[in-house]
Every structure is written in structure tokens, then in C-alpha cells.
Amino acid sequence: MLDARPVRKGDTLVEIVTDLLESAEDLIQIERVLMDREFDSQHVLERIVERGYEYLLPKRKQTSKKAVAGRMENHGVETTVNKRMLHLGKNEWHETHLLYLPKREFSGQIEESHERYVVFMSSGP
């Protein structure tokens, strides 16, 4: 861990990430930012790219992600990458990639096929 910062009421994720990046930039050379899935806001990701960094984080599995994973399971597909555009507001968009990968240590029976996969969001394929 490079730094921590208190979160104050009213702080946005963009402000928090910006502060942490500025602190880290003083200590190390950054190429890729790894984050928890709670930071998957379009504006946070765009801020990271604006600063010249790549990012990788696990993605929350919403209904559309579960559907893709289910289709992968049905067709025997192990991995896939989907390019997608995230809407930032007005006429602004940010390109990102969703990586669907099989869980390495899956064993046993589960009812939902999407549980066999993990989804990551990345600035590049």
C-alpha cells in the first residue's frame, strides 16, 4: 500500500482517486492502476486514462454480464473480450474492454453458469 486517505462526506470517487494518484506519483512511476470493483465509475476510469495510465479492475456482474457469461458457458467459450463505450455525459465517451475469464479454482456444482466466470474491466485488451 502506498497511501491511504480519509474519506469525507461529499467526496466523490474521482476526487479520492485523483488524490491517491497524485500521492503515488510522488513515490513511484505508475503504468497501470489496479482497483477494487467499487471504483468502476466511468468518470474515475476516464480520469485515470487522462493521466496517461492503464487500469484493470474486477467488474460487478450485472444482468448483461451474467447473460454474456451464460452464453459463453452454453457455447463452450472459455475467454472473451468485449470492447464497449462508456457514456460520460453530454457527447463524451470512454472506450473500455470487458474481459471474461474462467475462474481458476472452480469445482463443484452451481446453478448459475455465470458463476464460473470472473469479469474484469481494462483500458486495453
Tell me if 1 is assigned to some domain: no
Put simply, whether the predicted model's pTM sits higher than 0.75 gets the answer yes
Tell me if 43 is assigned to some domain: yes
CB 41 within 8 A of CB 20: no
Tell me if 5 is assigned to some domain: no
Domain that holds residue 34: 13-122
Q: Is 61 helix (H, G, I), strand (E, B) or coil?
A: coil
Cα 66 from Cα 68, distance rounded (Å): 5
Q: Which has more pLDDT, 92 or 99?
A: 99
| pLDDT tens for each residue of 44-54 | 988 998 899 99
Q: Decide if pLDDT at 110 tops 60.
A: no
Tell me if 62 is assigned to some domain: yes
What's the whole-number average pLDDT of the chain?
A: 82
> What is the domain count for the chain?
1
pLDDT the model gives residue 108:
58
| pLDDT tens for each residue of 42-85 | 889 889 988 999 999 998 777 677 778 778 777 777 778 888 88
Q: Read off the pLDDT of each residue in 71-100 and give the average, rounded to a whole number.
A: 80
Cα 96 from Cα 110, distance rounded (Å): 30
Question: ∠ CA(42), CA(46), CA(48), 5° rounding?
Answer: 120
CB within 8 A of 7, min separation 6: which ones? 16
Which of 33, 99, 25, 35 is closest to 69 using CA atoms?
99
Which of 43, 74, 22, 55 is closest to 124 using CA atoms?
55
